[in-house]
Structure 1
């Protein structure tokens, strides 16, 4: 084992920045329909606008191509996902999916239980951003006892 005396950067937040042509529609969809809380909004010269929405805890999920193919098969009947998609944990996937479709999302796949014990749906939101909604059906400790799962 090597020791590194350098100080590692302290990451405090993961922020996903999405350029949207229809700014009002995107803000309405993610803030008003999905329910993300507006943290800040700024306006600048030349009609420059940004809204920062609080999405709770952030994680970065790194998956190899085999994992993506497996998830696509389970979650979306094999329909290939985008290179990047955004996933939101919700309390009720079925209701949230209906709300997002009513709010303008295109449904890719209805909510379905996955082998990793979550209820997942897949949609396309404003500007073509793929969205996965997931509802955890068991806690991480229980899930980590299943074959193939690890939890530090």
Structure 2
């Protein structure tokens, strides 16, 4: 069997700078790369202890046709983009407090879920649904 691993996951945001602040400052990801082309940006954020794994932020029109970009923009503004994006942490309470203090919209305070983990939920500045798990 061939080894396979996740390299990056794209995430569409309506304000790349606000998203950088959220993912870097509130969640602790590290800025890896910031590329501009044709009026769009692709910003890669990495995970400490997980080299090669990145979250790539971009605006709705980046790399898409104008029609697709407009359709995706409407979804992002409504908070109906893909997701949730799920993160893991070893200290859910501290992570929850840090993200809440950063001004993220709280969707769910920490609680134990019937399927096992204790988790919480937020919306990032673009409205994307973010869940954070701590293993039981």
Quickly name the TM-score band, shorter chain normalised: 0.5 to 0.7
Aligned CA RMSD, in angstroms, stands at 2.6
Contact 1:91 1:135 in 2 (8 A): yes
Deviation at 1:14, TM superposition (A): 4.3
Q: Which of the numbers 43, 46, 50 marks the counterpart of 1:54?
A: 46
Q: Which has the higher contact order (CA 8 A, sep 6+)?
A: 2
**Do the aligned partners of 1:29 and 1:103 also contact (CA within 8 Å) in 2?**
yes
Q: Which has the higher strand share?
A: 2
Instruction: Count how many residue pairs are aligned between Structure 1 and Structure 2.
Output: 107
Unaligned runs of 5+ in 1: 1-7, 59-80, 138-152
Q: Residue 94 of structure 1: CA displacement?
A: 1.2
Does the 8 Å contact 1:104/1:125 carry over to 2? Answer: no
Rate the CA distance shift 1:83–1:26 in 2: closer, same or farther, 3 A: closer
- The 5 A counterparts of 1:18-33 are 18-33=11-26
Segment of structure 1 superposing worse, 48-57 or 89-98: 48-57
For normalisation by structure 1, the TM-score amounts to 0.60
Tell me the equivalent position of 2:33: 40
Structure 2 gaps of 5+ residues are: 54-79
Could you say which residue in structure 2 is the equivalent of 1:72? none
Larger radius of gyration: 1
